[in-house]
Structures are given as C-alpha cells and as structure tokens.
Amino acid sequence: MVYKIGFIGTGKMASAIIKGIVDKGFCAKEEIIASNPRESSRKRAETELGITVVSSNAEVVGSADVVILSVKPQQIPGVFSSENLGFGPSHTLVSIAAGVTIETLKNHVPDSKIIRVMPNICSTNFVGTACFSYSENCSENDINIV
C-alpha cells in the first residue's frame, strides 16, 4: 500500500501533528503510516490515532514519499544506522529534530529533499506555529506540502 505521509516516531509532537493533519483534512488516518520500535508505543498510537504503525522505519520509507522524522536529536544516528532505510531522490524528509542541521541529515540521505521544521509546544494543542528551512533540491510543491 502507498501512504500519503509517513512518520518515524510516534511521540507527543508526532501525535499532535498527526491529529492536526487528520483534523484539518490534509489526509485521512488510512493514508498515514508510522514506525516505533516499542510494541507498547505502537499499540498506543494505533489506538489513539487510528493509523497503521509498524516496527520498521524502512517500511515507512518504502510506503510514503513524505516522511516526517519525529525522534529526539540524540536518536538520529541510531535511526539511520539500524537498517538501510531506502531514502532516494523522490523522498522528502521533514525533520522536527531540534538542532539537527540539513547538512547532518544530508550525510544520511544525500539524494533526498530535506525540510527542517521547528514546531513549538503549542502545536500539541493545535494552536502552534513553526518555522522551516529547506535544502536546495526542494521544489515549490515540496515546500507547500509542509
């Protein structure tokens, strides 16, 4: 199945973003796939969010062209070293990991388009703001999706 959007991580900020994009009609729950290595977190996200949640980050990348990297900054090296994720030129990686630069992300996914977003905590209540920056290979459409 092809999903509209994927998430690596299902924590508080990812959950808030998922709830917001579903609530605002950007996509349906059935169009979202996420990954989490912990079974208890997968079950919680499936129950609370009504989305498909898997254990494999590579399955998320293989199923969606837009992937939101929603893990803590210190988890980034482990995400990219644990398995071959399969990011390519058609993928847009949207990172909400604070302090992780586009250059750092390019070391992991050199052919992908990268957009960094810094949401604020108010996003968890659907009233947040965010700023973003993007790599030179992002199209206007990629930017508009964010």
The average confidence (pLDDT) of the chain is 92
Q: Are 133 and 112 in contact, with CB atoms under 8 Å apart?
A: no
Q: What is the pLDDT of residue 46?
A: 96
- Distances, alpha carbon 17 to alpha carbons 61, 77, 104, 130, 145, in Å: 18, 23, 23, 11, 13
Residue type, 93: L
pTM above 0.85, yes or no: yes
Tell me the C-alpha distance between 115 and 133, whole Å.
Answer: 6
pLDDT tens, position by position, 11-61: 998 998 999 889 888 899 999 999 999 999 999 999 999 999 999 999 999
Q: What is the pLDDT of residue 102?
A: 96
Q: Are 22 and 29 in contact, with CB atoms under 8 Å apart?
A: yes
